[in-house]
Amino acid sequence: MDTNKLLYALFITALGMVIVFALLMLLRYIIELMRVIFEHKNKKEKDHAVIEVLAHTPMPLESEQKKADMDDNELVVVLTAAVMACLGGRNDIVVRSITRVGDSTPVWAKTGRHEQMLGRL
């Protein structure tokens, strides 16, 4: 094989990696930009969002995800609403305290769960 061909292959390699990286970098910034735009919008609609969560409570997961950026009062409201929804819409519930329970699962139980999950993966 002549050297020219090898040089051409090296050229393709260099250019190929540059294009792959550049294009995916571009996509990365576009995704970041998209996030900035939508986070901005979401902030405006945040007050509405909490009320909406209250209105459609059968999705406790969503309220959990929002936990991080809510203050404690909002958290109490959301958790209360979730409990109410689970109990079939009863409104005679008063939440007195919410305590975070430490991770008390024994290692063997965790291992068992991992194995089960891996078995399904």
Partner 1 sequence: MSMVDELLKFFYSMGFTAITWQQGIMIVLSCFLIYLALKKGFEPLLLVPIAFGMLLTNLPLAGMMREPVYEMVMEAGKEVKILVDPGGLLHWLYQGIKLGIYPPLIFFGVGAMTDFGPLIANPKSILLGAAAQIGIFMTFIGAMLIDKFIPFISFTIEEAASIGIIGGADGPTAIFLTSKLAPHLIGPIAVAAYSYMALVPLIQPPIMKALTTQKEREVVMEQLRPVSKTEKIIFPVLVTIVVSFVLPSAATLVGMLMLGNLIRESVELQSILNRLSKTAQNDLTNIVVVFLGITVGATAEGEVFLRPQTIAIIVLGLIAFSFGTAGGVLLGKVMHRLSGGKVNPLIGSAGVSAVPMAARVAQKVGQEANPNNYLLMHAMGPNVAGVIGSAVAAGVLLSMLGK
* Sites of contact with partner 1 (CB under 8 A): 1, 5-6, 8-10, 12-13, 15-17, 19-21, 23-32, 34-35, 38, 42, 62, 65-66, 107, 110-111, 114, 118, 121
| Cβ-based nearer residue to partner 1, 28 or 90 | 28
Instruction: Write down the least CB distance from residue 100 to partner 1, Å.
Output: 16
Q: How far is residue 23's CA from residue 92's CA, in Å, rounded to a whole number?
A: 57
Q: How far is residue 31's CA from residue 36's CA, in Å, rounded to a whole number?
A: 9
Nearest to 100 by CA among 54, 67, 53: 67
| Cβ-based nearer residue to partner 1, 32 or 90 | 32
Instruction: Write down the least CB distance from residue 94 to partner 1, Å.
Output: 30
Instruction: Write down the least CB distance from residue 85 to partner 1, Å.
Output: 20
Q: Rounded to an integer, what is the distance from CA 76 to the centroid of its chain?
A: 21
| Cβ-based nearer residue to partner 1, 11 or 90 | 11
Instruction: Write down the least CB distance from residue 116 to partner 1, Å.
Output: 13
Separation of first and last alpha carbons in the chain: 47
Q: How far is residue 1's CA from residue 92's CA, in Å, rounded to a whole number?
A: 84
